[in-house]
Amino acid sequence: MVNPAPKLPQAELLFRIQALMFLRVIFVSILLGASIFIQVKETQTYFGYIQTSHFLLLGTVYFLTFIYVIILKHAKDLLWFAYLQLLVDTLFVTAIIYATGGIDSIFSFLYILTIINGSIILYRKGGMLIASSSSILYGLLLDLHYYNIIQPLGIRGTYSTEYQAFHLFYVIFVNIAGFYLVAFLSSYLSEQTRKSRVELKEKQIDIDKLEILNESIIESITSGLIALDGHNRIILFNPAAEEVFGIKAALASGQRIDHVFPFLSDYFTEGRSTSMKTTEKTPPFVDLPYLKPDGDKTHLRLSISPLRIPVGNEKGFILIFQDVTEIKKIEEEMKKVEGLAIIGELAAGVAHEIRNPMASISGSIQMLAEGLEKDNVNRQLMDIVSREINRLNHLVNDFLLFARPKKVNLQEFDLNQLILESLELFQNSQHWTKKTNLVTDFRHDIRLESDPEQIKQVLWNLFLNAQEAMPDGGSLHVAIELNSDETYTDHKRVKIVVRDTGNGFDEKALSQIFTPFFTTKEGGSGLGLATVKRIVEGLKGEVSGSNHPEGGARIIILLPESPS
């Protein structure tokens, strides 16, 4: 299969046409100078006497070049314009041969220059076309000369009748063979050059892309990256390293690592860094404190890896730094939380042990109170002790519920029915008053996979808080809906809203409503909403509190339809 002719870019074709025009003028100017020199010396050359026609031909080239310049400014199809110039060049070469003796002329080599130009500018197609036109014109000129149809200028004499036909055939054959051979070889070289140039350009593009990718990766890494050569000198200092250390790359590049960062000198040898002082003992990560130039104290995590540089087989190191200041803070907080968790477990155990003797004390006080007269002062004291023991027992129960929540027992149930049952149970309790108006808004039939007993406990605490917030009566609103403000695609969430029409939360209470033992009620334990938050989070949900625009407090619970 023959490959199609390559399509030459217009910019490159324009440059080649301009180069052809320039070289043509230079070559013609050299010929003109030689002709004038010969004319001045009045010598007869091998190619005949210098005549006016020679100067006319050279002048014609200058004139055509001027015309070409004008056409080039307005030409749209540069390919045909290139073909036109090359074909005109073959006519011009034929005219030169005609003016310098025809068969005797030594200027047949000018065809070869034109063929090479065609191969360079238009590759194989152009070279073969110019070789064909040159062969036709040259053969036609010599035949017309041989049969005396034309009389070229500057001929030296006549040929011998014995060898004229053979000699003419030989000259034409050799020149035509040379034309096509030059066309083939020059076009082959031209196309190979073009292919090499295209491949080189593609490889350069790939190299540029790799360089850009390499630079982009290095600049995009959020960790500080420092590369060292075989002499511990910094050869790479990425933007993240500038941010971590507060030092510009221009100041660090080329400097020894121990000069820029003295605290790293213990990890490298004094001389070449072909080996580290602690090569085998150094752990994968090393945490180091660092004080920035601006005075900020940070914690850095250092990782050191060997680097082999291909040029000269030198070795170096890659240093990766991560700012773990925030991680350190979180670790400290986790330690505090773990300590608090241990204290909480201890407190829960103590509270559990306290509850048993309190039950015994409460029973004993009740038995003693039954034997005392109603107006007896001791009986009144017994009632106070019994009431406070009951209050303390409730506090211990709430604390145990907060500190040791029950294990989640997942079941599928009807959430609407569960809330209605909880409301009915609360309305039949001692906490409900007839002054309270109940308003429900269940927009969907929702089945939930969760722990119904723990949700009942949450609802009871919320109903109790709402009721206590409305001592003079009001409305208790309970609403359920699918949460439409989410972008979750795997699992939907259910929103439960419980609100009252009381005074709402003040600014201080709003920021601490879920804080354990924080309460604004006289005699309150401060564990109701804290327990709600603990249970809801254990069910993979979220809880938040706010004031309703129409007045009163509002608690919003978001629970997944399924925690899995």
CB-based burial label for 286 (10 Å; 0-12, 13-18, 19+):
middle
Structure tokens at 528: 């109701």
Strands 436-442 and 474-482: parallel
Run of H or E residues at 198: helix 164-220
3-state helix, strand, coil in the chain (%, to 5): 55, 15, 30
Q: What is the CA angle 374-380-384, rounded to 5?
A: 140
Question: For the chain, first and last CA: distance in Å?
Answer: 63
Whether residue 368 is found in the same domain as residue 502: no
Question: What gap in Å lies between CA 22 and CA 27, rounded to an integer?
Answer: 9
The CA–CA distances, whole Å, from 284 to 250, 303, 320 equal 29, 6, 11
Within a domain: 207:
no
Structure tokens at 47: 């190619």
Domain-ending residue, one of 354, 385, 403: 403
Within a domain: 2:
no
Whether residue 128 is found in the same domain as residue 251: no
User: For helices 164-220 and 109-146, what crossing angle results, to 10°?
Assistant: 160
Within a domain: 457:
yes
Whether residue 191 is found in the same domain as residue 241: no
User: Do residues 501 and 532 touch, judged by C-beta distance below 8 A?
Assistant: no
pLDDT given at position 277:
47
Question: What gap in Å lies between CA 261 and CA 274, rounded to an integer?
Answer: 19
Helices (H), 371-488: 377-403, 415-427, 452-468
Whether residue 395 is found in the same domain as residue 454: no
Structure tokens at 138: 């040259």
Domain-ending residue, one of 288, 323, 358: 323
Run of H or E residues at 553: strand 553-560
Domain count, the chain: 4
Contacts 24+ apart (CB under 8 A), 48-55: 48/100, 48/101, 48/104, 48/153, 48/154, 48/155, 48/156, 49/154, 51/99, 51/153, 51/154, 53/99, 53/153, 54/99, 54/100
pLDDT given at position 278:
42
Within a domain: 3:
no
Within a domain: 101:
yes
User: Do residues 194 and 235 touch, judged by C-beta distance below 8 A?
Assistant: no
**Comparing C-alpha atoms, which of 240, 271, 244 is closest to residue 258?**
271
Does residue 372 sit in helix, strand or coil? coil
Positive or negative, the CA dihedral 418, 420, 422, 425 is negative
Q: Could you read off the pLDDT tens digit of each residue along the chain, which spans 564 residues?
A: 444 445 667 777 777 777 777 777 787 777 666 666 665 565 544 444 445 666 676 777 777 778 877 877 777 778 788 888 888 888 888 888 887 777 777 778 888 888 888 888 888 888 899 899 989 998 888 888 877 787 777 665 554 444 467 777 888 888 889 889 988 988 888 888 888 888 888 888 888 888 888 888 888 888 888 888 878 888 888 888 888 887 888 888 888 888 888 877 777 655 444 444 444 455 667 888 877 777 777 888 888 888 776 665 667 888 888 888 888 888 777 776 666 555 555 565 555 556 556 666 666 666 666 655 555 666 666 666 666 666 666 666 655 555 556 667 788 888 888 888 888 888 888 888 888 888 888 877 888 888 888 888 888 888 888 888 888 888 888 888 887 554 444 567 888 888 888 888 777 767 677 766 656 565 555 566 777 887 888 888 888 888 888 888 888 888 887 765
Within a domain: 334:
yes
pTM: 0.43
Question: What gap in Å lies between CA 24 and CA 441, rounded to an integer?
Answer: 96
Within a domain: 206:
no
User: Do residues 306 and 227 touch, judged by C-beta distance below 8 A?
Assistant: no
Domain span at 232: 221-323
Whether residue 184 is found in the same domain as residue 312: no
Question: What gap in Å lies between CA 400 and CA 348, rounded to an integer?
Answer: 6
Question: What gap in Å lies between CA 513 and CA 341, rounded to an integer?
Answer: 21
Question: What gap in Å lies between CA 174 and CA 140, rounded to an integer?
Answer: 15
Structure tokens at 212: 């850009």
Query: What's the CATH number where 472 sits?
Result: 3.30.565.10
Domain-ending residue, one of 303, 323, 343: 323
Phi, psi of 145 (to 5 degrees): -65, -40
Whether residue 396 is found in the same domain as residue 476: no
Question: What gap in Å lies between CA 384 and CA 378, rounded to an integer?
Answer: 10
User: Do residues 159 and 167 touch, judged by C-beta distance below 8 A?
Assistant: yes
CB atoms within 10 A of CB 242: 16
Whether residue 420 is found in the same domain as residue 394: no
Whether residue 333 is found in the same domain as residue 298: no
Whether residue 154 is found in the same domain as residue 25: yes
Residue type, 430: Q
Whether residue 156 is found in the same domain as residue 54: yes
Query: What's the CATH number where 251 sits?
Result: 3.30.450.20
Does residue 493 sit in helix, strand or coil? strand
Within a domain: 210:
no
Whether residue 386 is found in the same domain as residue 421: no
CB atoms within 10 A of CB 433: 13
**Comparing C-alpha atoms, which of 383, 363, 361 is closest to residue 373?**
383
Whether residue 55 is found in the same domain as residue 176: yes
Residues 6 or more apart whose CB falls under 8 angstroms from that of 520 comprise 506, 509
Question: What gap in Å lies between CA 241 and CA 419, rounded to an integer?
Answer: 57
Strand stretches in 279-433, DSSP E: 286-291, 297-309, 314-323, 411-414
